[in-house]
């Protein structure tokens, strides 16, 4: 039973259906098809504001391309020390920007605070000898399963904007955050000061479809050239765009995220005092101990170790298509550990 | 009626079916799924030799990543002056390699000759002041619809290898070439001296699936790190790999290419003396004149201008799913041009 | 007797003296010293217009840094196919720009023409698939010892500016060109449309001192950050700037260039029909044949082969400090070749 | 009175004399001159082992080029969080390596410990998703004026080598360290496990001359191509190499460093309890308070603020040519602060 990651999940039926439906007749390539041409309006409707949206196939590409449009080669990107762009992208932001630096900022439960970012920015006096602070990158929901409130993002964006930095949001799990917050998509993005967004659909039910969304169309800049140059302009783009349209317009973004979040809460209740962070999306981090991990693995559960191994921590991720039975099973297994 | 490009085509049924079939249950991400784990053996069987194969979603990514593994930042890549890597990838080889140079070599009908490559290599004496000749990149079938014979590739690879260059093949339309030559896939690749191959399936019926194939497993080097860093390691890789497995194993690679090539021959016969290059795959280049282009466009045909505009040249590409009727129609239209 | 290059020459006394004179007491580093602070005004006086000037130690750095400020990573730089940035800098423009491409344009006697540049620009229709034409790089005097007239540069700059390209001038031998033309420094630079200049002093008598000169101060952009990041901001910058000030203000730029040009003319007369290009600076290109080269080398002359070796061509460069005797000797040796 | 930096200092007489002496007659360029050709043997003698040494003109170039030869674009360089490559080079390591990451490691008094480096390396499990640990960069003497003992370097190098990292030493002030330790140059470099060294001479009396020294000639790799490509291969290299030869062979490296270190000790005694770090080279860090800083500045002393400004810390650097009188004056001024 997989609790490894939400990218182990399947494609949800509505999205697979959308791919099949778009598989009709010849269509212009490289984005000049009816599906891709509708992306801007579909995302504008979703966010309640005029935006420009571009499809790519991976979250790493979305993050690195989005950041490269707002960060020069001699720029510095401020991010949480456990952010995906720090830990899991093999230096993609450095590659796409031409050698910018990611500056690591600590923070409880995977979240940055305005104070911590201010402190990090204060630590250098920009001069010709230093990298130039250029972007703040946040993650929503965070890598540790927590979720920023809109006012928290607004405070962070305010610090960044006052110093001339752009604000990027890694929204690989944005749907889970919106559902958790019960807010409008605008509240956790442009209304809170986000400039450029990596919008994820893959983990929440797509085959491979992410979008880079610019809330200020002026900021698009050379994005399209950078995307092409990086091999991320898809020739048969209708199939990627059709996924995003179905995701946004059929409501599966919400339904899938709601289901995963609810199941995560059930596990959270079973995990009780073992939880390391508040559960505010579809990820849980639990202290199992070496023995607890072994017991769960022997019972057929797959999950990743987390943190320094000897601390006995584990990450459990609930997918949109997680089976009821696997959730019931892991809840029982966690409870048995207590009584065990 | 589209004759713009084979990337305007649909997904062929076998491949769409394979995606649906692989959409079962949770699977490890990032290539650790049963479909991706079978790629090496499927490609080894296809090529009749042990190879290492890696899936990506675009031809530009395949070319640039493959070249970057054999070209240092201070390297020079020799290529035909009309190659896709020269004309159509917005500098992807330069980006992925860290600033290598693509050296343009001329050649009739889109083909390089051993003599022309020798001449280009002789033009510089490598020293600390020059870029270092590192790779020769060929295209099969070429950008002008012609196809290298195995002995032509062997002669080119021989020149390259004697000078210490690696040989890359852009095989975006490799299936069309193999079908045209009636040879074994090995004959136009590793047996002729190709070291690394961009293997295309997208144009010939896939959704988005290309492979980088290393014929010498030692040459893989840091490919996987470069792919990840470029955002081209797909999380739900089963869906891309399933496309490639279906493409290779169901025989659609051959069936689709044969159909497109045969239809192209029918148009070639209709075009007659207007042909600019031998038709040896699914692309045709025809001299239509300004008037001829206008007539065809008025009749509902879509195609690209080619060459300097005032020369009245056009490119026609036949897709794997091109309708019979559109082929009949364009043949008639071409013949009507003659009779005026 | 050296005719290899003008970079085999010594430092001229005025410049060595200026280094010694500036060697007094502690001075602020990194350009905040009195010598460096006078560069802008000294260059502005020299060019008769307000400019911004920055010192670096090599011509390759000047060229690559200057070009990088006007060329994005996805840009294309148009240059003569025998330009120094093409042949002799191991890909520095590619490195500093983050992967731009240098597009080679042919031209007689090392010179580009407005027609040839127009033709090269017409060859592509810029789109998201292509590199974006960004800069035209000229060389004055050229790599083949010829010199553009101001109106020739103006015509070239006009073509470039109409298409939105910036114009860079590699002035490693600018002094020789100005002296040859008998014009004001403005005539062959900003008045003719040059935007950014690599101004050379090293070959003409300095230890190691070149300047990047921006004729429009707005174009400086991020030059200073790029220079620092490339390790080209000199800590004890007074010594480099003192060289440039002495070079400009003592008139050695003119005296040294005049001497070298005059001596080159004497050799040109001796070479007669063997000359391959007009001699319009301090470089000569002569057809000697294999036998002639051998005779000269046996007589103690050092020089570089040029072109494809079997054509028997050679380059002779006259330095600012070339000995009279060596010039007399080579003139005689050339004449002896005629009489056999 | 300057205590800003040792790069405000003059050229020492022996080195200026060496430049003048080498200014005789034509010499081959780009390193093929008698001075540059003697560098390997001079450095081999200095270090008591066969080495390869290459001259460049700035410390940033030496560091970034040296690191780039041992760090791939997807590599990670571990360094002290206050190292020059971290704080003062505007991302040069990132630029030269093609986008590697510098991982910051904390440490008391500017020094890393084997434990801290082990901890940092343990924090990631290298995989295709992470940057690959490639190099450890140390600084001797450190940015905070302290000096590693040979056994401390050996312990750090041992940790690095066991994990497959190369070890780089930023030796901008290596002479000061050797003099402080009273050891042989070998003891703090190759005998302790250093693989590649940035050897500084500029701060200690040269005009502009640094060397990259490889203790294993096999590690030179593509250094020369990278140097050329970065514009750091000097055409008239004799003048840079002559500086290094004079520096090594006349003993000024030792004499100048000894003088600066001794003067720094005098100031250290005057600073007493205000010292923030042990004084083990020519740099002092003192807690002056806002009032103390103001008093010293009013008395005519120039120095940099250090740390977060409100902590009232300052850096004082003693140059090789620091005047006796300025040292006496600052000692008295410091003492006055106490009695003040």
Contact across the interface for C91 and D229, Cβ inside 8 Å: yes
* Residue A311 scores a pLDDT above 90: no
State the pLDDT at residue B339.
75
Structure tokens at D181: 């330790």
The distance of B208 to chain C (nearest Cα, Å) reads 18
Say what percent of chain B tops pLDDT 70.
99
Which among C26, C28, C318 is the top mutation candidate for probing chain D, defined by the most D β-carbons within 10 Å of its own β-carbon? C26
B and C: number of Cβ contacts within 8 A: 64
Lowest-confidence pick of A143-152, A252-261, C306-315, D292-301: C306-315
Instruction: Kindly report, residue by residue over D44-76, the tens digit of the pLDDT.
Output: 999 999 999 999 999 999 999 999 999 999 999
Model confidence pLDDT, tens digit, residues D227-270 = 999 999 999 999 999 999 999 999 999 999 999 999 999 999 99
Residue A16's SS3 state is: helix
E strands present in chain B:
52-56, 75-80, 101-105, 132-139, 166-171, 196-200, 210-214, 283-287, 304-306, 313-317
Mean pLDDT, all residues of chain C:
96
**Residue A210 reports pLDDT greater than 70:** yes
Note the Cα B258 to chain centre separation in Å.
16
Confidence of residue B340 (pLDDT cuts 50, 70, 90): low
pLDDT in tens, A9-60: 999 999 999 999 999 999 999 999 999 999 999 999 999 999 999 999 999 9
Q: What is the mean pLDDT of residues D171-176?
A: 98
Share of chain C above pLDDT 90, in %: 95
pLDDT band at D309 (very low <50, low <70, confident <90, very high): low
Which residue would you say has higher pLDDT here, A340 or B173?
B173
Whether residue B303 contacts residue B4, with contact meaning beta carbons closer than 8 Å, is answered with yes
Q: Which residues of D touch A82 (CB under 8 A)?
A: none
- Give CA angle at C167 (C8, C57), nearest 5°: 30
- Asked whether the CA dihedral B173, B175, B180, B185 is positive or negative, the reply is positive
Please list, in sequence order, all residues whose beta carbon lies within 8 angstroms of the beta carbon of residue A318, skipping any fewer than 6 positions away. Answer: A3, A6, A260, A261, A263, A264, A267, A282, A283, A284, A327
Nearest to C235 by CA among B172, D57, B277: D57
Round to whole Å and give the CA distance between D240 and A244. Answer: 60
- The verdict on B207 touching A (C-beta cutoff 8 Å) is yes
CA dist A102 and D71 (Å) reads 17
Encode pLDDT of C238-284 as tens digits: 999 999 999 999 999 999 999 999 999 999 999 999 999 999 999 99
Q: Span A278-284, mean pLDDT?
A: 98
Quote the longest CA-to-CA distance of chain D. Answer: 62
Residue C340 above 80 pLDDT? no
**What's the pLDDT score for residue C307?**
82
> What's the rounded Cα separation, in Å, for the pair D124 and A86?
11
Residue D170, C-beta contacts closer than 8 angstroms, at least 6 positions apart: D59, D63, D83, D84, D85, D137, D138, D139, D140, D198
CB–CB contact B99 C104 (8 Å):
no
ipTM attached to this prediction: 0.97
Write the secondary structure of chain C as one string of H (helix), E (strand) and C (coil). CECCCHHHCCCCHHHHHHHHHHCCCCCCCCCCCHHHHCHHHHHHHHHCCCCEEEEECCHHHHHHHHHHHHCCCCEEEEEECCCHHHHCCCCHHHHHHCCCEEEEECCHHHCCCHHHHHHHHHCCCCCCCCCEEEEEEEECCCCCCCCCCHHHHHHHHHHHHHCCCEEEEEECCHHHHHHHHCCCCCCCCHHHCCCEEEEECCCCCCCCCEEEEECCHHHHCCHHHHHHHCCCCCCCCHHHHHHHHHHHHCCHHHHHHHHHHHHHHHHHHHHHHHECCCCCCCEEEEECHHHHHHHHHHCCCECEEECCHHHCEEEEECCCCCCHHHHHHHHHHHHHHHHC
Q: Any CB–CB contact under 8 A between B132 and chain D?
A: yes
Is it the case that residue C339 has pLDDT exceeding 80?
no
Cβ separation D91–A104 shorter than 8 A? no
Cα distance between residue B196 and residue B276, in whole Å: 30
Residue C228: CA count within 13 A, CB half-sphere: 21
Q: What is the chain D residue with the closest CA to A123? A: D308
Per-residue model confidence (pLDDT) at position B1 = 82
User: How many interchain CB pairs under 8 A, A with D?
Assistant: 64
Rg (CA), chain A: 20
Q: Does A87 touch chain B (CB under 8 A)?
A: no
State the smallest CA–CA distance between residue D104 and chain B in angstroms. 21
Quote the mean pLDDT of chain A.
96
pLDDT in tens, D182-230: 999 999 999 999 999 999 999 999 999 999 999 999 899 999 999 999 9
- Residue A226 touches partner C, C-beta closer than 8 Å: yes
pLDDT of A308 higher than 80: no
Of B322-331, C308-317, D166-175, the poorest mean pLDDT is in C308-317
The closest of D213, D249, D167 to D55, measured between CA atoms, is D213
* Residues in chain C within 8 Å Cβ distance of D66: none
Phi and psi at residue A171, to the nearest 5°: -105, 40
pLDDT for res D1: 82
pLDDT at B309: 63
For D78, phi and psi rounded to 5 degrees?
-95, 130
Residues from chain C contacting residue A96 (CB–CB below 8 Å): none
Average confidence (pLDDT) over A124-148: 97
φ/ψ of D54, rounded to 5, equals -130, 135
Q: Does C233 reach chain A within 8 Å, measured CB to CB?
A: yes
Residue of A60, A94, A230 for testing the chain D interface, max D β-carbons within 10 Å: A94
Measured from the Cβ of residue B35, the count of other Cβ atoms closer than 10 Å reads 23
Cross-chain residue pair B102–C100, CB shorter than 8 Å? no
Percent of chain D with pLDDT over 70: 99
User: Over chain D, what is the mean pLDDT?
Assistant: 96
Please determine, for residue D307, whether its predicted confidence score (pLDDT) is greater than 90. no
Q: Over the stretch B203-259, which tens digit does the pLDDT of each residue have?
A: 999 999 999 999 999 899 999 999 999 999 999 999 999 999 999 999 999 999 999
pLDDT above 90 as % of chain A: 95
Q: Which two tokens stand for residue D120?
A: 């940092």
Q: What percentage of chain D reaches a pLDDT higher than 90?
A: 95
Q: Rounded CA gap, D304 and D233, in Å?
A: 33
Facing residue for C90 by CB, picked from B89, B94, B131: B131
pLDDT of residue A309: 63
Identify all chain A residues contacting B319, using CB atoms and an 8 Å cutoff.
Answer: 26
With H, G, I as helix, E, B as strand and everything else as coil, classify residue A315.
strand
Peptide bond into B213 cis (omega under 30): no
Which chain B residues touch C130 with a CB distance below 8 Å?
A: 87-88, 90
Measured between alpha carbons, how far apart are the two ends of chain D, in Å?
21
**Model confidence over B113-129: pLDDT tens digits?**
999 999 999 998 899 99
Task: Please determine, for residue C68, whether its predicted confidence score (pLDDT) is greater than 80.
Answer: yes
Identify the band that residue A338 occupies on the pLDDT scale cut at 50, 70 and 90: confident
Contact between B113 and B157 (Cβ < 8 Å): no
Cα D85 from Cα D112, distance rounded (Å):
14
Tokens of A228: 């092409």
> With the C-alpha atoms ordered C257, C258, C264, C268, is the resulting torsion angle positive or negative?
positive
User: How many Å apart are CA A157 and CA C161, to the nearest integer?
Assistant: 39
Question: What is the mean predicted confidence (pLDDT) over A269-281?
Answer: 97
What is the per-residue pLDDT for A107?
Answer: 98
The runs of H, that is alpha helices, within D25-97 are 34-37, 39-47, 59-70, 84-87, 92-97
Provide the sign of the torsion angle of the four alpha carbons B322, B326, B331, B334, taken in this order: negative
- What sign does the dihedral C216-C73-A225-A199 (CA atoms) show? negative
A54-58, A214-218, B318-322 — which is least confidently predicted? Answer: A214-218
Q: Do D7 and C91 touch (CB under 8 A)?
A: no
- Please check whether residue A122 touches D, CB under 8 A: yes
Q: Name which of A27, A21, A26, A34 is nearest B323 in CA terms.
A: A26
């Amino acid at each position: 039973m997989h609790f490894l990651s939400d990218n182990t999940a399947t494609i949800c039926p509505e999205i697979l259906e959308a791919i099949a439906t778009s598989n009709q007749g010849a269509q212009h390539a490289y984005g000049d098809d009816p599906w891709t041409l509708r992306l801007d309006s579909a995302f504008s409707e979703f966010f309640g504001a005029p935006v420009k949206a571009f499809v790519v196939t991976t979250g790493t590409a979305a993050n690195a391309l989005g950041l490269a449009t707002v960060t020069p080669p001699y720029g510095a990107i401020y991010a949480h020390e456990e952010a995906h762009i720090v830990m899991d992208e093999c230096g993609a932001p450095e590659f796409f920007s031409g050698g910018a630096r990611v500056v690591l900022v600590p923070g409880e439960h995977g979240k940055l605070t305005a104070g911590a970012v201010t402190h990090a920015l204060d630590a250098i006096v920009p001069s010709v000898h230093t990298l130039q602070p250029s972007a703040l990158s946040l993650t929503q929901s965070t890598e540790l399963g927590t979720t920023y409130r809109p006012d928290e993002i607004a405070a962070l964006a305010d610090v960044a904007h006052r110093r001339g930095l752009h604000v990027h949001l890694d929204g690989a799990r944005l749907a889970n955050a919106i559902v958790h917050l019960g807010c409008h998509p605008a509240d956790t993005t442009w209304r809170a000061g986000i400039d450029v967004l990596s919008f994820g659909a893959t983990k929440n039910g797509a085959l491979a479809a992410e979008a880079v969304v610019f809330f200020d169309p002026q900021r698009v800049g050379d994005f399209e050239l950078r995307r092409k140059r990086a091999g991320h302009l898809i020739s048969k783009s209708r199939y990627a765009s059709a996924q995003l349209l179905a995701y946004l317009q059929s409501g599966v973004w919400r339904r899938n995220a709601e289901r995963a979040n609810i199941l995560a809460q059930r596990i959270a209740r079973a995990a009780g005092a073992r939880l390391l962070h508040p559960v505010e999306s579809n990820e849980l981090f639990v202290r199992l101990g070496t023995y607890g991990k072994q017991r769960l693995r022997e019972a057929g559960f797959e999950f990743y170790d987390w943190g320094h191994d000897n601390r006995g921590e584990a990450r459990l991720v609930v997918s949109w298509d997680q089976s009821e039975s696997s959730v019931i099973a892991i809840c029982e297994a966690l409870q048995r550990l207590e009584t065990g």
